[in-house]
Amino acid sequence: MESTTKETEKQCVLCCQEIDIFALGKCDHPVCYRCSTKMRVLCEQKYCAVCREELDKVVFVKKLEVFSSLPYQNFPCDKKHDIYFKDERIYAQYRHLLLPECIHCPEPKVFSRFEELEQHMRKQHELFSCKLCSKHLKIFSYERKWYTRKELFCDERYLDNDELLKHLRRDHYFCHFCDADGSQEYYCDYRYLSEHFRESHYLCEEGRCATEQFTHAFRSEIDYKAHKAAAHSKNRAEARQNRQIDLQFNYAPRQQRRNDVKTMKSKNPGDEDDFPVLGATAALPM
Ligand SMILES: [Zn+2]
Ligand SMILES: [Zn+2]
Ligand SMILES: [Zn+2]
Ligand SMILES: [Zn+2]
Ligand SMILES: [Zn+2]
Ligand SMILES: [Zn+2]
């Protein structure tokens, strides 16, 4: 099929699915209404995922238009989340998106609260939700995983903290940097984890890295720059810079070793005053 501008616009930059209802703010960067709802309602984030501008309001429309041309003041709206709907049908679809629904019943069954769906799943299908995921994962109820009694061990697995961690690591995304620092944050999908990488760490989104997972996130600026130079440098100057970064990496420990030797030497009585600033981490120009 031939790809046109219209078709690229029709794909959501966040979930890569075709957009049936557009969510649009003042910066005119459309995403699909599911992603927008997830961000604004479930994650309570109001910024644009493309340019990061804070969007005090968004409009949900079927046909893409310029935001400033939309008379949203007259549209039905969800005041709490500042979402305006071009028509009642879109509004209904939005409300439906947020309702807990059983997708195992032959006839879709809708509930007003998640607890009711949980009860239904338990009674009718003998399926159980993960208590932790239900509490912490910001996802729609139709995206939630249901486990059999055997898989869940009647909630007993969660009495054991190690088992819980194993489950979270296997079933959910987490930041390996923060995890190493002892913080335990989990993300409902890679999109939100990459938001975290971008915000709290260093994320490379150049070329091939734009579609990578995990391997394009870096803990320190130096790691990030080294990667940029190694993976994405196009010319000699950049390659040279790449080598310089390599040198910095190689020199640090060597210099450290030399300092250690000196520190040892300075242990001789009388020498100490000659090396007043030498410490384990001091790097003197040699
Ligand atoms: Zn989307
Ligand atoms: Zn934007
Ligand atoms: Zn059911
Ligand atoms: Zn879980
Ligand atoms: Zn992190
Ligand atoms: Zn990269």
Determine the pLDDT at residue 6. Answer: 58
Ligand nearest to the CA of 169: 4
Q: At what angle do helices 221-232 and 236-265 cross, to 10 degrees?
A: 140
DSSP 210-270: GG-SSTTEESSHHHHHHHHHHHH--SHHHHHHHHHHHHHHHHHHHHHHHHHHHHHHTTSTT
Burial bucket for residue 84 (CB in 10 Å: 0-12, 13-18, 19+): buried
Res 119 pLDDT > 90: yes
Determine the pLDDT at residue 261. Answer: 37
pLDDT digits (tens, 9 = 90+) for 138-189: 788 888 888 887 666 544 445 556 666 666 666 667 787 887 777 767 776 6
Determine the pLDDT at residue 89. Answer: 97
Residue of higher predicted confidence among 59 and 271: 59
Give residue 142 CA to ligand 3 midpoint distance, Å.
12
**Domain ranges (residues) in the chain:** 7-97, 101-171, 174-216, 236-274
Buried b (16+ CB within 10 A) or exposed e, 27-50: eebbbbbbbbbbbbbeeebbebbe
At 84, give phi and psi (nearest 5°).
Answer: -110, 145
Neighbours of ion ligand 2 (CB under 5 A): 27, 29, 48, 50-51
Give 3-state DSSP helix, strand, coil % of the chain, rounded to 5: 50, 15, 35
The per-type count for the chain, helices as H runs and strands as E runs, is 11, 13
DSSP 129-140: E-HHHHHH----
Ligand nearest to the CA of 16: 1
Which has the closest alpha carbon to 86: 70, 100, 97? Answer: 70
Angle 180-175-157 (CA atoms, 0-180°, nearest 5)?
85
Give residue 161 CA to ligand 5 midpoint distance, Å.
21
| Chain CA centroid to CA 12, Å | 16
Kindly report which listed range (2-6, 62-66, 70-74, 232-236) carries the lowest average pLDDT score: 2-6
Determine the pLDDT at residue 96. Answer: 93
Taking the C-alpha atoms of residue 42 and residue 39, their distance in angstroms, rounded to an integer, is 6
DSSP 47-65: B-TTT--B-S-EEEESS--
Give residue 139 CA to ligand 3 midpoint distance, Å.
19
pLDDT digits (tens, 9 = 90+) for 61-117: 999 999 999 999 999 999 999 999 999 999 999 999 999 999 899 998 999 999 999
Determine the pLDDT at residue 210. Answer: 84
Res 254 pLDDT > 50: no
Give residue 236 CA to ligand 3 midpoint distance, Å.
62
Give residue 231 CA to ligand 6 midpoint distance, Å.
6
Determine the pLDDT at residue 163. Answer: 64
Which has the closest alpha carbon to 86: 75, 78, 102, 74? Answer: 75
CA 152, 155, 157, 162 dihedral sign is positive
| Chosen CATH of 7-97 out of 3.40.640.10, 3.40.50.12780, 3.40.50.300, 3.30.40.10 | 3.30.40.10
ipTM of predicted assembly, 2 dp: 0.63
Give residue 50 CA to ligand 4 midpoint distance, Å.
29
Residue of higher predicted confidence among 34 and 131: 34
Q: Tell me, what DSSP letter sits at residue 98?
A: T
pLDDT digits (tens, 9 = 90+) for 18-76: 999 999 999 999 999 999 999 899 888 898 988 889 999 999 999 999 999 999 999 99
Give residue 230 CA to ligand 6 midpoint distance, Å.
9
Q: What's the token pair of residue 185?
A: 């944050």
C-alpha to C-alpha distances, 30 to 7, 15, 43, 208, 211, nearest whole angstrom: 13, 12, 18, 24, 20
Give residue 54 CA to ligand 2 midpoint distance, Å.
8
Nearest-10 Cα torsion for 239, 244, 247, 253: -130
Mean pLDDT for the stretch of residues 261-274: 39
Give residue 9 CA to ligand 2 midpoint distance, Å.
14
Ligand nearest to the CA of 175: 5
